[in-house]
Amino acid sequence: MHNKFPHLFEPFKLGSVRLKNRITKAPLFTAYAHKDGTVSSLTLEHYKEVAEGGVGMIVVANGIVDESGSISKYSIRVDDDRFLPGLSRLADTIKKEDAAAVLQINHGGYFAHGRKTFSPSSVSLSDLNLGGLYKTALKSLDFQQQLAVLSEAIQQRPSRPKKMTEDDIKYMVSAYAQAALRAKKAGFDMVEIHGATGYLPVQFLSPRINNRKDQYGGNLENRMRFPLELTQAVMDAVGSDFPVGYRFLADEWIDDGFPLDEAKIFAQRLSDLHVAYLSVTAGTYESFSRPEIVEKSHEPGYMVYLAENIKEVVDVPVITTGRITAPQLAEEILREKKADLIGLARPLFVDPEWPQKAYEGKDEDIVPCENCGACFQLVVSDRSALCVQWGKTKLIKRKNMIKEVHNPRKKILIAMDESENATMAAAYAADMLANRTDVTITLFHITTDESIKDESGIKEMMDIARSILIKAGIPEKAINIQIRQKKAGMGNDILNEIAEAGYGTVVVGRRGVSRANQLLFGSVSNKIVQNAKDCTVWVVE
């Protein structure tokens, strides 16, 4: 038992998943994914760092269940199997550090970005109380940046979302279920349905927003129908051995909004479905910037009373979040049984080592979140999150990584066998890419029984290829050489490298065999042309 914080470091079980302690990373959307929705190296670095800090469970924020629901240019997407490799790497990265990996799944409803957005009612965004949100989003930008953000928002977002038909509702329920199943396939331990912050499930629950006259609108029973149906569908899809949590809105904190007394009834219904936990929050983009809410949210543990209220009426574990910056407060909440688990969003963004420092009794070394709002301002203006409290080195490193995510260099692989085709492939690439500074090129050689005998010859060939590229104006530091031993055969090894490192272009020479022979025996280049995914292949003859 831990001397100083015995409750905080007590293990816990969510369904079949064991947590090593009661500290969880509450979801904090960072906008670190690539524009195509794939997991970036920055995403991996961020979650690895948090996992290494000793937290018991990590909720990865905001995996998008359908393209129409994306809330930012840099959201992680879960709506297609092509996202599986990156999601698997992310789940592995977290689990390697003995933290449970949870993927939050979401649809933004009318807060989504695309040309076609969905909502239960055809509410115009200008009817909503979003002045505070826009002010927050624009506050930290200069005039030019403000214009850019506004014009992009106007171009991208239709003024009214499509009012969902019953078919749209069925489709969306199934999109959540498919996304959850994909998270399971990728190796996550759990999923968390995002039912807070004003996104699609809340748009159904809120009596202000939902003005439908059918079975999905009107009284509470009808307004709960969509979130309950989607929760059931998610649970059916993943099976009973896979825990499904719910990010829960306990109060919309706005007049005529979804109130606590209705939330308690909804919580009981989710508890009856046996969700794995309720992670209790409050407020939406319409209420966050109301002066009384801003004031309230400066208080340590400002949402604990809501967790307590919900805990009283449910049989499932409850997570509480909201300015729990000190382990002493976390310990007290657990000791007094106000919640079962502690959620830390910004505190772990500022200082991922919060759990480890508390464990070692060095809690005075924890860097507490100062509630400056910078991370929030960044993500709501569609930029990637940073923390101004980080040290200079980390801040600079992250800024550079963010630049790379927003404007990725094109990654090119030149497959180099031991024949002169390889040098031809390099010469062709040099011609095509002359003077390009936005590329990184990898000269990639798989050793064969023949080539292994002539190590110096291979090195010489790689050096010739490198100098051809440098002569064509490719910066020296943008050229890498990689020599690997054959594992699964030349073609397969190259294909594995393409998939793992995410190359956009592959250049390969075709061996000097006749077309008839190629048809008969196949060739490395044919194999790559036929099997490389999401990548252009240049075959040089």
Ligand X SMILES: Cc1cc2nc3c(=O)[nH]c(=O)nc-3n(C[C@H](O)[C@H](O)[C@H](O)COP(=O)(O)O)c2cc1C
CA distance 214 to 151: 36
Residues 6+ apart with CB under 8 A from 215: 222, 225
| CB contact at 8 A, 255 and 112 | no
Closest approach of Cβ 392 to ligand X, in Å? 21
504: amino acid identity, one letter: G
User: Which residues, at least 6 apart from 180, have a Cβ–Cβ distance to it below 8 Å?
Assistant: 105, 191, 234, 237, 238, 244
Least CB distance to ligand X at residue 344 (A): 5
Whether 199 is a known active-site residue: answer: yes
Angle at 427 between CA 423 and CA 431, to 5 degrees: 170
**How far are the Cα atoms of 59, 332, 469 from residue 271, in angstroms, in the given order?**
20, 25, 62
Q: Which is nearer to ligand X, 208 or 346 (CB)?
A: 346
- Pick between residue 121 and residue 321 the one whose CB is nearest to ligand X: 321
The answer to whether 121 and 213 are in contact (CB under 8 A) is no
Q: Which is nearer to ligand X, 322 or 491 (CB)?
A: 322
What minimum distance in Å lies between the beta carbon of 518 and ligand X?
50
* Residues in contact with ligand X by the rule CB under 6 A: 26-29, 61-62, 104, 194, 196-197, 247, 281, 321-323, 344-347, 375-376, 379, 385
The residue (of 28 and 149) whose beta carbon lies closer to ligand X is: 28
Q: How far is the CB of 46 from ligand X (least distance, A)?
A: 12
Between 238 and 386, CB nearer to ligand X: 386
Strand partners, 503: none
Choose between 350 and 413: whose C-beta lies nearer to ligand X. Answer: 350
Q: Nearer to ligand X by C-beta: 21 or 62?
A: 62
Phi, psi of 444 (to 5 degrees): -120, 120
Place of tokens 């029973």: 221
Decide if 533 contacts 541 (C-beta within 8 A): no
CB 375, min distance to ligand X, A: 4
Angle between helices 41-52 and 392-406 (to 10 degrees): 150
192 three-class SS: strand
- d(C-alpha 94, C-alpha 47), whole Å: 7
Using DSSP's 3-state secondary structure scheme, residue 438 falls into coil
Please, which residue, 123 or 379, has the CB nearer to ligand X?
379
In the complex, minimum distance from the CB of residue 377 to ligand X, in angstroms, rounded to a whole number: 9
Q: Give the E-state strand segments of 123-200 in sequence order.
A: 162-163, 190-195
When the beta carbons of 380 and 508 are compared against ligand X, the nearer one is: 380
**Least distance CB 61 / ligand X (angstroms):** 3
| Shortest spacing between CB 491 and ligand X, in angstroms | 41
Residue 17: its H or E element: strand 17-19
Task: Exactly one of 47, 199, 246, 428 is catalytic; name it.
Answer: 199
The span from the CA of 491 to the CA of 527, in Å, is: 6
Chain position carrying tokens 């009973």: 240
Three-state SS for 88? Answer: helix
Q: How far apart are CA 26 and CA 89, in angstroms?
A: 20
CB of 54 to ligand X, least distance (A): 16
Instruction: Please give, one letter per residue, the 3-state secondary structure of 210-275.
Output: CCCCCCCCCCHHHHHHHHHHHHHHHHHHHCCCCCEEEEEECCCCCCCCCCHHHHHHHHHHHHHCCC
Strands 505-509 and 57-64: unpaired
CB–CB of 176/233 below 8 Å?
Answer: yes
Catalytic positions are 199
